[in-house]
Amino acid sequence: MTQPWNLQSLPELKKLWLGLLACILLAFTFHWPSLQNRYIWDDDQYVTQNMELRSLDGLKNIWFKFHSEPQYYPLTHTTFWTEYQLWGLNPVGYHFDNILLHGVNAFLVGLILLSLGAQGAWLAAAIFAIHPVHVESVAWITERKNVLSALFYLLAFFSYLKFISFSRFEKKKLNSEHFKNKWLAYTISLLFFICALLSKTVTASLPAAVLLVVWYRTGNITRRDIFFTIPFFILGIFFGIVTARLEMTQVGAMGVEWSLTFVQRCGIAGRALWFYMVKLIWPEPLMFIYPRWTLDQISGWNLLFPVSFVTVLAGLLLYRKSCGRGPLVALLFFAGTLFPALGFLNVYPHRFSYVADHFQYLASIGIISLFSALLVAWFEKMKSTKLQTICTSIVVIFLLLNLGMKTTIQNKIYYNAETLWQDTIKKNKSAWIAYNNLGNYYLNEEKYDQAIGNYTKALSLKPNFEYAHFNLAGVYRRMGIFDKAIEHYEKTVQLFAQGQSLNPASRPVILPEAHNTMGHIFTSMGRFDQAYAQLKLAVGLRPDYAEAYNNMGSAYLKQSRLKEAIDAFSKALALKPNNAKFHNNIGAAYANTNDMNQAVYHFRRALEIKPDYKNAERNLAIAIASLKEKESGTSSNNN
């Protein structure tokens, strides 16, 4: 039986600092292109358009309102909040922090493996730092949750190992200082674990991983070992349930895409496990969105994937005395850490693909550490002559440089939304979401023909994709082709009405906006009855929809139905009292009723909110002139 480990045998502090510096330098050396990258997919939701980052109230909402963000990861969003206060929306700072966190994580991987006495600990750390599979987690600002949660996960892991190392000396009767350090290490581990869960709940597997390591080092797991992990399991299960619930109800991981049998889910899991393992060994090609396996592809003979993986595990368990417990523990860690993303739980990205590089950020440690240990063991056997030593060194250098160069190239793909989606489409012609998102990019760049082409391609691949119809309608609206715009808005509404929309969870967002925009278009076309019908549907679906009330007021104003217009504008202002446009519009309505005092008040409020509001400035000047003329006329009549 392997002797209990002693973390006191780690290298001296100076060498550890050098190891940390080396890992950070490696990370920056090969991930440097991401410092030039812009924002991409979901970065708007997490950073650029996230209003919670703007104020202290937003920080409070991040922590105390479960629905203020897509998922309840308050520590991750707190880092974004802090960064926004420091450098606003400059993407360089966000990318810099992601690379720095990744470099520290690589060091912690080496430190933990070293403390366990694993061969090739620092080689594993180096590979982790520069492996191209990790580019998605590092170069994508939104995936801060990956690199941040991994930091706390690894710190919690190391602290727990320290706790175990003290516990193993109890037979020798710990002195008071050892006893104090033991419980301090346990408490710190628990706190770091909570921080990891508050960053991303994929880290919930930590207690199971700890027990695996105990078995790896001692050959057995005692009741005492299990007892101390119970608080960790309770916390992990609680946060896991919260995340799974929010993933379905708030993020939208529900619908026909997840109507799978248990056998199909097993097929997905088995195939995904082998897929991730192959990508770690041969990371080519790497895609932001991989082709999604069809139901036919994940049933029947595909059950060979999970069966073969379980067979390998069984073989390693059976022959553990001859090959050691390490390979089995590495594979179990790999599979267990990947479990939340294997298809047994509903995960929103599975709508596009059952696999993604960022899913295996933590899990990859198992395969990387096993590969490194086997490689170093083989090198040790080869080092019988100086020539062989030189050759093995060249092999290691070539391996690291090859991985590093691939990582550098892969980082450039994430430069902006256009480069990302073009690369995705080039490698995966069936990526309908990529066509839609590339269309969004061209829409923002006012390249309408290219936007239409991409939205149309997305619909050819996924006809019930409500967002593509909605976005296509938006392009035609901007181009002034109103009949086409209405056609696609109506198609969007029809998909929801018939229960055929791709993402039913998007209904509360898209449907009111579709009705509101159609109402606005009908108003501009002078088709007021249709405009009122659409706008009433919009506020019926969303009673707090201020923009719809404003558009309704504008329609009434155009028909000179001034009382109704003022009532609609008032409802909009009650919902958004600091909206300059609403104040300007109600001011115009009052001006048409010759109530110039109210008109002047609202025009002034509009300018207080938005000092450069030219329309309000012009309206105010006219209203003041009219008011003075009125007062002058009254004065003349009195004379």
Where along the chain do its domains lie? 431-543
> Topology of 431-543 in CATH?
1.25.40
Name, in order, each residue with C-beta under 8 angstroms of 447's C-beta and a sequence gap of 6 or more.
none
C-alpha dihedral (418, 421, 426, 429), degrees to nearest 10: -140
What is the CA 313 to chain-centroid distance, rounded?
32
Phi/psi of residue 443, each to 5°? -65, -45
Report how far residue 523's alpha carbon sits from residue 529's, in angstroms, rounded to the nearest whole number.
9
The answer on pLDDT for 58 being more than 50 is yes
pLDDT score for 101 = 97
Helix, strand and coil content of the chain, in percent to the nearest 5, comes to 80, 0, 20
Identity of the amino acid at 122: W
CA dihedral over 562, 565, 569, 574, signed as positive or negative = positive
| Banded model confidence at residue 376, pLDDT cuts 50, 70, 90 | confident
Q: Is the torsion defined by CA of 329, 334, 340, 342 positive or negative?
A: negative
Place of tokens 């750390």: 125
Q: Does 183 have pLDDT greater than 50? A: yes
Q: What is the percentage of the chain residues whose pLDDT exceeds 70? A: 93
Verdict on whether the full-model pTM lies above 0.85: yes
- Pick from 122-136, 155-169, 322-336, 348-362: least confident: 155-169
DSSP per-residue string spanning 168-220: TTGGG---HHHHHHHHHHHHHHHHHHHHHHTT-GGGGGHHHHHHHHHHHHHS-
Q: Residues, the chain, total?
A: 639
Residue 635 scores a pLDDT above 60? no
* Closest of 287, 297, 293, 275 to residue 428, by C-alpha: 287
Q: Check the CA dihedral 432-438-443-448 and report its sign.
A: negative
Q: Check: CB of residue 179 under 8 Å from CB of residue 169.
A: no
Cβ–Cβ < 8 Å for 472, 490: no
User: Which of the two residues, 397 and 98, has the higher pLDDT score?
Assistant: 98
Give 138-180 pLDDT, tens digit per residue.
999 999 999 999 999 999 999 999 888 766 545 455 566 666 7
Query: What per-residue confidence (pLDDT) applies to 639?
Result: 45
DSSP string covering 334-347, please?
HHHHHGGGSSSS--
| Token pair belonging to 56 | 């202290």
Measured between its terminal Cα atoms, the distance across the chain in Å is 113
